[in-house]
Amino acid sequence: MDQRNLSPRLMRSLEVFVAVAETGQMRAGARLLNLSQPAASQHITALEAAFGTTLLDRSTRPARLTYAGARLHGKAQKILDALSDMETELRHVGQKSLSLLRVGLQASIATTLTPGLIELAQQDFGVEDITLHAGQSGNHEHLLRTKQADLAITSNPFLDMDGLERHPVLTENYLLVLPAGYDGATNSLEAIQTRLPLVRFGDTTNAGRQIAQHLRRLRFEPRKVIQADRSSMVTSCVEAGQGFSLLTPTLLIDGLVENMGLRLCKLPVVGLSRTLTVVARKDELQGLPQAFAALSERVLRDKISDYMGEIGRSSIRPAE
């Protein structure tokens, strides 16, 4: 391939290659970048043709990086990081220190927090352009690692990643979520599962893995499980009487705003909670991450109190 034909697409192709390398799958890497699988494959093929070497061993499932692919992965990360650093430095130069802000938001709280966050960023920090990405914590990790996001409000603090600052928002206990018409026992998961299957987040999500691990520690093995990767899907199943679930107050906000018929009870098992955190690249956004954390806590507390009353208020506390 003529290098001159590749150059305009080189950065995008490297982004695609890094996404595929880090997820281990062409489809998953393409999804992170909002590409189709064939489009992502074309980017990888273009790189292989340009460099005259095979980067992915496609004879295995999932495909593995070749030696050349592993070398390119490390160099591509450095190139993309350097470009992002340059962009960050340049857009912080001038009278307005923050002209562009890219934010990842936990999908379950995105609708609730977006208006206030935009107003705060614009009025208090002079941000002109804001891009918001709603998704799961796995999406946020990729966005932060590849520097496609400056900040994320997420359920995973990414403690294995260096160069980040973290500002806790709040800690919330999981609640027992039942159909409005459920009239059985609520003090035993074993008793509930004789009448209803468990509806929970899938194992591909941080919440799903957390719930599954906690239930295994309690030696609770649900007989039937329905998995979904969005809180709205989980709550709609419960509202329809198709099962019961374990959800935190912030995971319930959207469903209660839509007046879903749900019955909320304290969870009859202990120790299941999660913490929301504002995670940002260190020392790049001045006081904005801390301000986002304070605003998020205030807005979420008010919304939880309005829609869940005492059971909601008693399920949240200052972040641990």
* DSSP type of residue 9: G
Scored b (16 or more CB within 10 A) or e, 203-236 reads eebbbbebbbebbeeeeeebeeebbbebbeebbb
231 pLDDT above the threshold of 60: yes
What angle (nearest 5°) sits at the alpha carbon of residue 139, between those of residues 137 and 140?
Answer: 60
Averaged confidence pLDDT in the chain: 87
pLDDT digit string, tens, across residues 251-287: 999 888 788 889 999 999 888 999 999 999 888 888 9
| 4-13, 190-199, 235-244, 286-295: least confident range | 4-13
* Alpha-carbon span 193 to 246, nearest angstrom: 12
3-state secondary structure of 227: strand
Q: Average pLDDT, stretch 169-182?
A: 95
Q: 129-135 and 64-65 as β-strands: parallel, antiparallel, unpaired?
A: unpaired
Confidence of residue 222 (pLDDT cuts 50, 70, 90): confident
pLDDT digit string, tens, across residues 301-316: 999 999 999 999 999 9
Q: 129-135 and 56-57 as β-strands: parallel, antiparallel, unpaired?
A: unpaired
126 pLDDT above the threshold of 90: no
| 93-97, 114-118, 203-207, 233-237: least confident range | 93-97
208 and 201 Cβ atoms separated by less than 8 Å: yes
Confidence of residue 22 (pLDDT cuts 50, 70, 90): confident
35 and 26 Cβ atoms separated by less than 8 Å: no
* Count of all residues that appear for the chain in the document: 320
Q: Which amino acid is at 54?
A: T
- Whole-number pLDDT of residue 246: 94
pLDDT digit string, tens, across residues 177-201: 999 999 999 999 999 999 999 999 8
What distance lies between CA 47 and its chain's CA centroid?
29
Q: Average pLDDT, stretch 50-60?
A: 86
As given in the structure block, the two tokens for residue 246 are: 């374990």
2 pLDDT above the threshold of 50: no
Listed ranges 52-61, 85-94, 111-120; the one with the highest mean pLDDT:
111-120
Confidence of residue 1 (pLDDT cuts 50, 70, 90): very low
Domains of the chain: 3-79 (1.10.10.10), 92-169+274-308 (3.40.190.10), 175-271 (3.40.190.10)
Confidence of residue 154 (pLDDT cuts 50, 70, 90): very high
- Whole-number pLDDT of residue 276: 95
pLDDT digit string, tens, across residues 69-92: 899 998 888 888 777 767 666 655
- Whole-number pLDDT of residue 90: 62
